[in-house]
């Protein structure tokens, strides 16, 4: 497994330059549903599809058979962004979890050792 973070070791070039695309989710993990209903900053509406580009990818975890991406997108809230973790495996696009994150978050608690 290889793990990348935009601010630590950078993203692979194919993800960094990923064109704006529509990701149609094939399923929602139970954890994503639970988190959407109980996030401390408010209820999160779960989408059927997510539109993103390489600029929106913060983290990537790559294996021989899957790609897991952390995608951060602005939402209607003026204080928070929404973060999605999506697992791409075969034809599956599974939303693993979701949370609201303060727009001003500077990642002070980021454990850089996970990416080196």
Instruction: pLDDT tens for the chain, 116 residues: list them.
Output: 999 999 999 999 999 999 999 999 999 999 999 999 999 998 999 999 999 999 999 999 999 999 999 999 998 777 899 999 999 999 999 999 999 998 888 777 888 888 86
Question: For residue 112, is it within any domain?
Answer: no
Q: C-alpha angle 87/61/46, rounded to 5°?
A: 30
| Per-residue confidence (pLDDT) for residue 106, from 0 to 100 | 74
Number of CB atoms found within 10 A of residue 9's CB: 14
| Per-residue confidence (pLDDT) for residue 114, from 0 to 100 | 87
| Per-residue confidence (pLDDT) for residue 104, from 0 to 100 | 84
Question: For residue 29, is it within any domain?
Answer: yes
Output the pTM of the full model.
0.93
Tally of domains within the chain = 1
Question: What is the Cα–Cα distance from 64 to 86, expressed in whole angstroms?
Answer: 16
Using CA atoms in the order 114, 33, 14, 4, what is the torsion angle rounded to 10 degrees? 0
Residue 46 tokens, joined: 């779960």
CB 74 within 8 A of CB 81: yes
Question: For residue 61, is it within any domain?
Answer: yes
Please give the residue range of the domain that contains residue 23: 2-102
| Per-residue confidence (pLDDT) for residue 84, from 0 to 100 | 98
Question: For residue 111, is it within any domain?
Answer: no
Question: For residue 107, is it within any domain?
Answer: no
Question: For residue 81, is it within any domain?
Answer: yes
Question: For residue 115, is it within any domain?
Answer: no
Question: For residue 109, is it within any domain?
Answer: no
């Amino acid at each position: 497994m290889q793990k990348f973070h935009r601010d630590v070791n950078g993203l692979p070039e194919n993800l960094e330059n990923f064109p704006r695309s529509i990701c149609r989710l094939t399923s929602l993990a139970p954890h994503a549903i639970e988190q959407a209903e109980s996030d401390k900053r408010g209820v999160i509406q779960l989408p059927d599809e997510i539109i993103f580009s390489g600029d929106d990818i913060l983290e990537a975890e790559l294996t021989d058979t899957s790609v897991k991406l952390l995608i951060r997108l602005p939402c209607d809230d003026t204080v928070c962004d929404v973060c999605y973790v999506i697992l791409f495996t075969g034809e599956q696009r599974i939303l693993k979890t979701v949370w609201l994150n303060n727009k001003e978050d500077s990642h002070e608690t980021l454990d850089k050792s996970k990416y080196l």
